[in-house]
Amino acid sequence: SSTKLLIKGGTVVNAHKQDNADVYVEDGIIVAVEPNIKVGDDVTVVDATGKFVMPGGIDPHTHLDMEFMGTETVDDFFSGQAAALAGGTTMHIDFVIPVNGNLMEGLEVYEKKAKKSCMDYGFHMAITKWDEVVSKEMETVVKEKGINSFKFFMAYKGSFMINDELLLEGLKKCKSLGALAMVHAENGDAVYEGQKRMIELGITGPEGHALSRPPVLEGEATSRAIRLAAFVNTPLYVVHVMSINAMEEIAKARKLGQRVIGEPILSGLLLDESGLWDPDFTNAAKYVMSPPIRASGHSKALQAALSTGVLQLIGTDNCVFNSTQKALGVDDFRYIPNGVNGMEERMHLVWDSMVESGQISVTDYVRLTSTECARIFNIYPRKGAILAGSDADIIIFNPNSSFEISASSHHSRSDINVYEGRKGKGKVEVTIAGGRVVWENDELKVIPGSGKYVKMPPFSYLFHGIDKADALYLSSLRAPVKRFKSTT
């Protein structure tokens, strides 16, 4: 049976414009976006008068059902996605973690985990070691498996971390495949040393986590990755930008015309490290993530960088543990599983802190939470738009209602929430995913297995001709660099 849906009377917002229009949906696809659409009585009508009709959020950075630091995230593909849908996000891109460095084995594991999906998803691939086999597998993953981005870890010494030599190999490989290289930018050797120093000083609590890996180490690694990407002449995506230090490196490179994308995440935009000094371990440990939540000042600067275009899209790095798991590090912060929530909270908190506060427009909101992600990962306008032909992933947002966040009412399986007690203006009243109403009247109607895998094609058009231009490009790097004029 076909599902027909008419969203009537709302203000349709895309990243490039907003209009008063109705949206007609059939079998999961948007068929028409125009005023006063007339339909028969076999069509379900959803009233959106006085509300915004926007593309569902796309979260570029999540970790569901991930084995990490001796434990496993509490939210799997079903529970994490259900929570996201309740918060107005209709697609996410998760990171496949290889098995002993093996990409295809890792992908099989993740394909299984994702079978219970109730919303659409895509994959990035983490690269956790480097050799000829991995290099060959990257090719298969891009050409046959619908993955167009790879994350390299400059931190997590002893497990995921790779050195500069191997990062260069990875960048070259990404370039040859038309894939996007992503980096976790912290200096892993220095972090390792910083952690030892904290323990020697007797600082074993959650505050030791932040003290051991200050912003300067994020700035250094970001700068290094940017320069190596310039040397290879390939685009770079910096995940979880948490500090002014990293952001300013991205700003500088972009001013010089380098293709660098910066992804701040919800926790970095909203939180500061004051929570880490809470004498209650459970409360302090819930903020532990990497790179760490920074001192006050960084978050506001990252918000400003989004509003001026220095940073391009907002993720969450959703990686959720419960208080029992966080307690694994009660005697030593190095064993606190790293990660915080955000998938369910992102759309509400970004609206409240950036649109409601007057920093960005409603169209900017759509761009930063949805459209830009679809563009960067090459799935626009199927995703990230309310246009005829796009997937029917839509939210109805009431700017005059309000939200409140608590672990007692959220949809994650965790007993903790880093945004506990936050309230604000605006509410996702209806979420439509793949043409079905999945969230309405504060109720979820999700079906395991209904979410589809979204293949992301490589960026051949962006890379076309670059190899021939390389010699010229490399010689241009010898020219004196124009001085960066700070705008801040």
Q: Which does 393 bind (CB under 5 to 8 A by kind): Zn ion, ligand URP, none?
A: none
63 binds ligand URP (CB under 6 A): yes
Complex with ligand URP: residue 60 or 339, whichever CB lies closer: 339
Question: Rounded to the nearest whole angstrom, what is the least distance from the CB of residue 76 to ligand URP in the complex?
Answer: 16
Question: Rounded to the nearest whole angstrom, what is the least distance from the CB of residue 82 to ligand URP in the complex?
Answer: 20
Question: Rounded to the nearest whole angstrom, what is the least distance from the CB of residue 240 to Zn ion in the complex?
Answer: 6
**CA atoms of 434 and 394, how far apart (whole Å):** 9
Complex with ligand URP: residue 217 or 395, whichever CB lies closer: 217
Q: Which does 142 bind (CB under 5 to 8 A by kind): Zn ion, ligand URP, none?
A: none
What is the pattern of x (binds ligand URP, CB under 6 A) and - over residues 324-343? Answer: --------------xx----
Report the half-sphere exposure of 236 (CA within 13 A, side-chain side).
31
Question: Rounded to the nearest whole angstrom, what is the least distance from the CB of residue 197 to ligand URP in the complex?
Answer: 20
**CA atoms of 3 and 448, how far apart (whole Å):** 18
**CA atoms of 439 and 473, how far apart (whole Å):** 50
Q: Which residues bind Zn ion (CB under 5 A)?
A: 65, 184, 317
184 binds ligand URP (CB under 6 A): yes
Taking each helix axis from N to C terminus, what angle separates 164-177 and 215-232, rounded to the nearest 10 degrees? 50
Question: Rounded to the nearest whole angstrom, what is the least distance from the CB of residue 63 to ligand URP in the complex?
Answer: 5
Q: Which of 22, 207, 248, 317 binds ligand URP (CB under 6 A)?
A: 317
Task: Count CB-CB contacts under 10 A for residue 35.
Answer: 10
Question: Rounded to the nearest whole angstrom, what is the least distance from the CB of residue 338 to ligand URP in the complex?
Answer: 3
Question: Rounded to the nearest whole angstrom, what is the least distance from the CB of residue 132 to ligand URP in the complex?
Answer: 26
Question: Rounded to the nearest whole angstrom, what is the least distance from the CB of residue 124 to ligand URP in the complex?
Answer: 10
Nearest to 95 by CA among 77, 83, 82: 77
195 binds ligand URP (CB under 6 A): no
Question: Rounded to the nearest whole angstrom, what is the least distance from the CB of residue 432 to ligand URP in the complex?
Answer: 29
Q: Which of residues 145-164 bind ligand URP (CB under 6 A)?
A: none
Q: How many residues bind ligand URP (CB under 6 A)?
A: 8
- Spatial CB neighbours of 97, under 8 Å, sequence gap ≥ 6: 66, 67, 68, 106, 110, 126, 128
Complex with ligand URP: residue 66 or 244, whichever CB lies closer: 66
**CA atoms of 154 and 227, how far apart (whole Å):** 14
Q: Which does 65 bind (CB under 5 to 8 A by kind): ligand URP, Zn ion, none?
A: Zn ion
Question: Rounded to the nearest whole angstrom, what is the least distance from the CB of residue 435 to ligand URP in the complex?
Answer: 32
Complex with ligand URP: residue 270 or 319, whichever CB lies closer: 319
Complex with ligand URP: residue 336 or 395, whichever CB lies closer: 336
Complex with ligand URP: residue 33 or 161, whichever CB lies closer: 161
Q: Which does 87 bind (CB under 5 to 8 A by kind): Zn ion, ligand URP, none?
A: none
319 binds ligand URP (CB under 6 A): yes
- Residue pair 341/320 in contact (Cβ under 8 Å)? The answer is yes
Complex with ligand URP: residue 90 or 128, whichever CB lies closer: 128
Nearest to 290 by CA among 313, 274, 307, 273: 273
Question: Rounded to the nearest whole angstrom, what is the least distance from the CB of residue 190 to ligand URP in the complex?
Answer: 16
| Tokens linked to 88 | 């107005």
Complex with ligand URP: residue 339 or 458, whichever CB lies closer: 339
59 binds ligand URP (CB under 6 A): no
Instruction: Give the phi and the psi of residue 459 in degrees, each rounded to 5.
Output: -100, 55
Complex with ligand URP: residue 191 or 228, whichever CB lies closer: 191
Complex with ligand URP: residue 128 or 290, whichever CB lies closer: 290
Complex with ligand URP: residue 334 or 425, whichever CB lies closer: 334
Task: Count CB-CB contacts under 10 A for residue 318.
Answer: 30
Q: Which does 339 bind (CB under 5 to 8 A by kind): Zn ion, ligand URP, none?
A: ligand URP
Q: Which of 285, 289, 305, 430 binds ligand URP (CB under 6 A)?
A: 289
Q: Which spans of this chain sit near ligand URP (rule: CB under 6 A)?
A: 63, 184, 289-290, 317, 319, 338-339
